[in-house]
Structure 1
Amino acid sequence: MRTVQRSRARLGVFVPFTNTNLEPDLMMMCPADVSVHVTRLGGYDANEVPDSQQMAGLGAMNMDEPIRLLAGIEPDIMIYGCTSATLAHGRDFDASLSARIASEGNARTITAAGALVHALQALEAERIAFASPYVPLLNDHAIAFLRSCGIETVSRADVAGTLDNAGQGNMSPEEVFDLGLQADSKKAKAIVLSCTDMRAVEVIEALEIETGKPVVTSNQAIMFQALSQLNLTPARSGFGQLFDMQNTVLRTRSE
């Protein structure tokens, strides 16, 4: 019997082992004929605050076995699903990790941090407002990473207090919405909500209506870059100006 692949494309995703929001977000946006396959990553202590040191440890973990296991499904694209792990190391590290995964996994590769940059460049948004559930020092690293890519952060919002891994994932969409509003300023051309474990995808549409600006989140940016490479559109509308722009481009190509 001839084997027929049941999906049009396969996305292979590396997910930090405490992350509970990346997978639901990707499935929410993913077209029905694209399948998502996940392997989980360790390299950090779930009981510690995910600060710069913890996230740098995740980024530096040995990836040999996770790459080997995820390559077993022969994915079209491999996705490194943690923004802060490479933000903590910088742009060169992010590019090097992406190249290594692509080479060893024999697939196109997207990193969450790189996807943010890709999305902002697509929107031509060089001045942004930035918010995340990270500790302030990790936000500093994130802003420096974006600056090295030609993106200036003109305003930002840090969360009150210090969130552990569960606390970041348990932020409500209402809390994420308020954080985005707090970050916004007149000088910003777009609002960035960074973290693959923050429920930001659910507030994109409302925050764009409230501010009149495009909103870019880690998980939305990942799916935008993946579907752009596959020339596909998300499962439904409501994921922001970023996808609206892509849909217009694809319609134009088909005419």
Structure 2
Amino acid sequence: MTADPRAIKVGVLVPYTNTNLEPDIMLMRPEGCSLHFERLGDYDIDAIPGSDQMARLGAADITETLRLISGIRPRAVLYGCTSATLTHGAGFDRELAAQIGARSGAVSLTAAGSLVLAIRVLGAAKVGFSSPYLGEINDQAAAFLADEGIATVARADIGRELGNYGQGELTPDEIFALAMRVNVPEVEAIVLSCTDMRSVETVDRIEAATGKPVVTSNQAMVFALCRALGLPRPPGAPGRLFERL
């Protein structure tokens, strides 16, 4: 008998201007799961998403958001903004995951926590970190990873200020070029951080060009979900990371 393709309900919390997390997660949807999205707000749509704005999003009251997503009786809830907790630190990220889990009654996974898990599973201690963030957030991201025992030995950003829609408008070719800028010899894995960046589409291309594993925010969340629930590799999931399931 075929398993119910919608037996496992997965809630995904998405920043309200993010247009790429949902298609990425749907592309990598694990078999037996249905996906249910709820938007996150409490940031200025017209402002450049700097450290203060992302920290505000991470600290926002999501009580109503969790009440609504809990209506589907989820087995898991994914918190789909990496920089919202990178700006606060690893302890904050773990606490937020615990709060989401307690309030939703579900397995709770954050984008930043999933990046750390994926890097560790790959056995990488030194990473190249690429993102569309402002430099201050990249500084905080490197400190976050350092607290988790992961050294950022190369770093690249897009080189210009991007608004809340600009991150999602980067092309796969631009993201590939961004990743290649951190491909220095000592890097053991390449990290592409941001749930609104079209990184999933570039994973196989970057791995073929560099011979190194690639970890993206959205890919890492799906990997963490599969690992937590004992699910097999989804047909659409790219990268060497999923060989570790």
Would the TM-score normalized by the shorter structure come out above 0.5? yes
Are the aligned partners of 2:20 and 2:196 in contact in 1 as well (CA < 8 Å)?
A: yes
- CA distance in structure 1 between the partners assigned to 2:236 and 2:17 by the alignment: 29
- CA distance in structure 1 between the partners assigned to 2:232 and 2:90 by the alignment: 28
The 3-state SS of whatever aligns with 1:165 is coil
1:69 paired to 2:65: no
1:213 paired to 2:216: no
- CA distance in structure 1 between the partners assigned to 2:66 and 2:237 by the alignment: 33
- Residue number in structure 2 paired with 1:250: none
- Residue number in structure 1 paired with 2:167: 168
- Residue number in structure 1 paired with 2:26: 27
- CA distance in structure 2 between the partners assigned to 1:238 and 1:32 by the alignment: 11
- Residue number in structure 2 paired with 1:144: 143
- CA distance in structure 1 between the partners assigned to 2:144 and 2:184 by the alignment: 20
Residue type at the aligned position of 1:205: D
RMSD across aligned C-alpha pairs, in angstroms?
1.3
Residue type at the aligned position of 1:235: P
- CA distance in structure 2 between the partners assigned to 1:194 and 1:84 by the alignment: 8
- What TM-score does the superposition give when structure 1 sets the normalisation length? 0.93
- CA distance in structure 1 between the partners assigned to 2:125 and 2:168 by the alignment: 28
CA 1:73 to 1:237, structure 2 compared with 1: closer, same or farther past 3 Å?
closer
- CA distance in structure 1 between the partners assigned to 2:243 and 2:102 by the alignment: 32
Residue type at the aligned position of 2:102: S
What is the 5 A alignment of 1:1-255? 7-236=6-235, 239-246=238-245
Residue type at the aligned position of 1:87: L
- CA distance in structure 2 between the partners assigned to 1:28 and 1:200 by the alignment: 13
Are the aligned partners of 1:204 and 1:239 in contact in 2 as well (CA < 8 Å)?
A: yes
Are the aligned partners of 2:219 and 2:237 in contact in 1 as well (CA < 8 Å)?
A: no
The 3-state SS of whatever aligns with 1:195 is coil
The 3-state SS of whatever aligns with 2:109 is strand
1:33 Cα deviation (Å)? 2.2
- CA distance in structure 1 between the partners assigned to 2:21 and 2:84 by the alignment: 15
- CA distance in structure 2 between the partners assigned to 1:237 and 1:75 by the alignment: 22
Query: Could you list the runs of 5+ residues in structure 2 that have no partner in the other structure?
Result: none
- CA distance in structure 2 between the partners assigned to 1:140 and 1:233 by the alignment: 35
1:235 Cα deviation (Å)? 3.1
Aligned residue pair count: 243
- CA distance in structure 2 between the partners assigned to 1:131 and 1:177 by the alignment: 10
- CA distance in structure 1 between the partners assigned to 2:116 and 2:30 by the alignment: 23
- CA distance in structure 2 between the partners assigned to 1:58 and 1:49 by the alignment: 13
- CA distance in structure 2 between the partners assigned to 1:79 and 1:160 by the alignment: 29
Are the aligned partners of 2:200 and 2:218 in contact in 1 as well (CA < 8 Å)?
A: yes
Deviates more, 1:197-206 or 1:23-32: 23-32
CA offsets 1:126-171 (integer angstroms, 9 cap, x no match): 1000000000000000110000000000001111111111110000
Identity of aligned pairs, percent? 48
Are the aligned partners of 1:205 and 1:238 in contact in 2 as well (CA < 8 Å)?
A: no
1:8 Cα deviation (Å)? 2.6
- Residue number in structure 2 paired with 1:251: none
Deviates more, 1:5-14 or 1:68-77: 5-14
- CA distance in structure 1 between the partners assigned to 2:229 and 2:96 by the alignment: 22
